[in-house]
Structure 1
Amino acid sequence: MSLESVKAHFTQWNREDNVMEFETSSATVEQAADTIGVIPARIAKTLSFRGQEEKPILIVAAGDAKIDNKKFRHAFGFKARMLTPDEVLDQTGHAIGGVCPFGLKNELDVYLDVSMKRFKTLFPACGSTNSAIELTIDELFQYSFAKEWVDVCKGWDEAELREQVAL
């Protein structure tokens, strides 16, 4: 059902036929990258967090990025606490491995992390463990009804990686 809700979501832009379905799993960043044939960083992963007043928020980030707790707290004013797999399914309508900001069961605030801005296109999941769509960052922003771009991740900046290696 989740894949169908995502395809229905994309009918607004006549993009439902652009949803790719695979014979192999795309449930993890690594599996998706292998299946699609791109570097893991180009997989747009959707992370689900407890928001204020218990309303969850979604953060979409590059596949090689990790949440930076200090940046997250600065941006949102509360500690980053991820939802359980059952809560993710209940809130988004998508099971872990297919979570995306499209065709959501509930209206949730979506934020896009700047870690994705270095790519022309990215590949977010489409509601199942074997689906994705290729989107530009502008399309991802539009189609996800994102509220804004945020800077809440670490580990993806080359300069930051060089500093970590030097330590």
Structure 2
Amino acid sequence: MAGKGTPATALLTKRKVPHAVHTYEHDPGESSYGSEAAAALGIAEERVFKTLVAEVDGKLTVGVVPVTGQLNLKALASAVGGKKAKMADADAATRATGYVLGGISPLGQRTRLPVVVDESVRRFDTVFCSGGRRGLEIELAPDDLVSLTGATVASIAG
């Protein structure tokens, strides 16, 4: 696992963005990926952000929220000027991002989707997000996450 790059890590390296890559042994029986990452890496869950793909008015959109919260679909729709949102089909999310569920990174996605990051990201000097596969987390500054994804920052966690 270690040493094998992903589109997310390649993007960070190409853009010369300061970051740290953290790996841990993913338990295949675990489905709460963010909580598993926080526990394995010994960090507060509030600093680990999960990447969720939703459909806003029929268009795939990414919400990035702390693993301690849930994505507020109404707030996500509002943040991108939409009316109605629902969680995207898992296959559609995988096809669009190029990543497997539990390993979807907001960085280096196959198709550049609109991204909204929850405003709580600004509470920390660094945050963690998926590096593009289960068991791989990237630590970076919140401003770099927002800049690299072209994200809107809004209150989208419920």
| Same-fold status (TM-score > 0.5) | yes
Aligned residue number for residue 79 of structure 1:
84
Instruction: For residues 26-54 of structure 1, give each alpha carbon's deviation from its aligned partner in whole angstroms, at most 9, with x where no partner exists.
Output: 961210101111121111111101133x3
**Is the 8 Å Cα contact of residues 61 and 115 (structure 2) preserved in structure 1?**
yes
TM-score (normalised: structure 2): 0.83
Normalized per residue, which structure has more helix? Answer: 1
Q: Is the 8 A contact 1:111 1:149 kept in 2?
A: yes
The answer for the alignment partner of 1:11 in structure 2 is 13
Give a deviation string over 1:47-95, Cα, whole Å, max 9, x none: 101133x331111112212223443344333222011221111110011
Aligned to 1:105: 110
Identical positions, percent = 27
Structure-1-length-normalised TM-score: 0.79
User: Greater Rg, structure 1 or structure 2?
Assistant: 1
Are 2:62 and 1:58 aligned?
yes
Secondary structure of 1:105 counterpart: coil
From 129, 133, 139, give the equivalent of 1:134. 139
Q: Structure 1 residues 102, 83: CA separation in 2 closer, same or farther (over 3 Å shift)?
A: same
RMSD value, Cα:
2.3
4+ residue runs over 4 A deviation: none
1:151 to 146, 149, 155: 155
Provide the rounded CA distance (Å) in 1 between the counterparts of 2:18 and 2:9.
Answer: 5
Distance across 2 between alignment mates of 1:10 and 1:114:
22
